[in-house]
């Protein structure tokens, strides 16, 4: 099916940029429209310069996911939409309504734009957060899509992603304006790591200010993090599958957990494995037992609620974050392997090396603050 085109939302983000790097290698792709609110004239130049050597037309759009008319124009002539735009916040920094507007209403707006512009394929970047964990006592090892895991947290990020995913999957089979059919699917990546991760960058910069000691935030967890390049690859495979509905009917209206062969480990151990080459180490000092940490979070949330009429107090952590960071919660990618033909492109060793090299550039930028306390 020659001459197809793709719109990527959140294209300037951590995952969006990696998806575009793989998209430009796709056969018969004529145009990529890259949409992000953060794009500015100088950003456009950076984007175009990366892809000057390719025959694919790259159109950079600076637009808001809440602007319905803009979205409809952006979707004109598009074959596949890959929707990665979202606000990720599990600490309560960003107002609840802002997160709901972007993550849920923005997704609904984009689905409607696809119907009006007769876009036949829609891929949603969801999150493992829509599945839980709901309790740090809950143990899920190598879970799968048949496990009926669903987050019960009212916090805006997991709630908005869960409801947005439901909207995307419910839209599968909708009739397009030209009489065609909209096919959708959702991908639920595990915690994503890799070069240019904002979360890892924050952890490293904080540790540099603390003489190379990494803060312990998830020592009680067992997770299966996934490398950003492998998540991007899963999106490419989903796009291929939805573009040919006769060949891949199993994909339509489905969601998939996306993991890779990164070893099961705690979030703290992951941070240490990625950064130890540069002299970082974990904090070995005493920490609160997990149940006490959870109830302290509950107390802080209660204080925040009681003060809310007169003062906006944001706790350093909440129960959702404590649970998310300290649970045994891992999922298999077997369904994606079966239906999408997904196999991780990048091994754990290669992913670790690439991420570690990037961390080295952060250390170089801030080397004057690094001490040898860990060595």
Mean pLDDT, range 229-235, rounded to an integer: 98
**Those residues with Cβ within 8 angstroms of residue 278's Cβ, 6 or more apart along the chain or in another chain:** 212, 356, 359, 360, 363, 370
Q: What's the CATH code of the domain at 160?
A: 3.40.50.720
- What is the pLDDT at residue 265? 96
Total count of residues recorded for the chain: 375
Point out which residues pair with 143 in neighbouring strands. Answer: 331
Q: Does the residue 302 lie in any domain?
A: no
Q: Does the residue 189 lie in any domain?
A: yes
Asked if 259 contacts 344 with a C-beta cutoff of 8 angstroms, the reply is: no
Nearest to 70 by CA among 104, 23, 112: 112
How many structural domains is the chain composed of? 1
More confident residue, 48 or 177: 177
Q: What is the pLDDT of residues 173-190, one digit of tens each?
A: 999 999 999 999 999 999
Q: Does the residue 271 lie in any domain?
A: no
Asked if 65 contacts 102 with a C-beta cutoff of 8 angstroms, the reply is: yes
Nearest to 277 by CA among 195, 349, 357: 357
Q: Does the residue 207 lie in any domain?
A: no
Q: Does the residue 277 lie in any domain?
A: no
Q: What is the pLDDT of residues 238-249, one digit of tens each?
A: 999 999 888 788
Beta pairing, strands 254-258 & 183-189: parallel
- What is the pLDDT at residue 368? 61
pLDDT at 46 over 90: no
Q: Highest-confidence range of 37-46, 200-209, 211-220, by mean pLDDT?
A: 200-209
Mean pLDDT, range 203-229, rounded to an integer: 91
pLDDT at 86 over 80: yes
The tokens for 339 are 């239906």
Q: What is the pLDDT of residues 262-276, one digit of tens each?
A: 999 999 999 999 999
Q: Does the residue 14 lie in any domain?
A: yes
Q: What is the pLDDT of residues 295-353, one digit of tens each?
A: 999 999 999 989 989 988 888 899 999 999 999 999 999 999 999 999 999 999 999 99
* 157 annotated active-site: yes
pLDDT at 291 over 90: yes
DSSP state of 257: E
pLDDT at 293 over 60: yes
Locus of tokens 């916090």 = 155
Q: Does the residue 204 lie in any domain?
A: no
* Residue-number span of the structural domain to which 181 is assigned: 4-199+225-263+331-347
More confident residue, 293 or 51: 293
Q: Does the residue 187 lie in any domain?
A: yes
> Cα-atom radius of gyration of the chain, to the nearest Å?
21
Rounded Cα distance, 4 and 119, in Å: 11
Catalytic annotation, pick one of 51, 70, 136, 157: 157
Mean pLDDT, range 199-226, rounded to an integer: 91
- What is the pLDDT at residue 287? 81
């Amino acid at each position: 099916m020659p001459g197809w085109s793709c719109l990527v939302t959140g294209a300037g983000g951590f995952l969006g940029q990696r998806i575009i790097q793989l998209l430009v290698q796709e056969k018969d792709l004529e145009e990529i429209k890259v949409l992000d609110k953060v794009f500015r004239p100088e950003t456009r130049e950076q984007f175009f310069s990366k892809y000057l050597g390719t025959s694919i037309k790259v159109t950079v759009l600076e637009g808001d996911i809440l602007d319905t008319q803009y979205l409809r124009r952006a979707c004109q002539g598009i074959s596949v939409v890959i929707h990665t735009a979202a606000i990720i916040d599990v600490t309560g920094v960003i107002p609840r309504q802002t997160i709901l507007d972007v993550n849920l209403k923005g997704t609904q707006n984009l689905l409607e734009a696809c119907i009006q512009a007769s876009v036949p394929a829609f891929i949603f970047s969801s999150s493992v957060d829509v599945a839980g964990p709901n309790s740090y006592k809950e143990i899920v090892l190598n879970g799968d899509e048949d496990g009926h895991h669903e987050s019960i947290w009212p916090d805006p990020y997991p709630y908005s992603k869960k409801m947005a995913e439901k909207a995307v999957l419910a839209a599968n089979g909708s009739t397009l304006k030209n009489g065609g059919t909209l096919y959708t699917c959702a991908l639920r990546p595990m915690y994503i790591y890799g070069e240019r991760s904002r979360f890892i960058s924050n952890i490293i910069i904080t540790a540099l200010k603390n003489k190379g000691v990494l803060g312990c935030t998830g020592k009680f967890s067992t997770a299966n993090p996934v490398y950003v390049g492998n998540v991007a690859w899963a999106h490419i495979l989903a796009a291929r599958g939805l573009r040919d509905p006769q060949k891949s009917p199993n994909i339509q209206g489905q969601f998939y957990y996306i993991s890779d062969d990164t070893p099961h480990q705690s979030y703290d151990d992951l941070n240490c494995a990625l950064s130890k080459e540069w002299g970082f180490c974990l904090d070995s000092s005493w920490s609160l037992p997990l149940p006490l940490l959870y109830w302290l979070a509950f107390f802080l949330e209660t204080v925040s609620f009681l003060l809310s009429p007169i003062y906006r107090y944001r706790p350093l952590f909440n129960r959702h974050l404590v649970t998310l960071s300290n649970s045994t919660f891992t999922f298999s990618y077997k369904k994606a392997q079966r239906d999408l033909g997904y196999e991780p492109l990048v091994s754990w060793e290669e992913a670790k090396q690439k991420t570690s090299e990037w961390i080295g550039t952060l250390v170089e930028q801030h080397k004057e603050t690094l001490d040898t306390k860990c060595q």
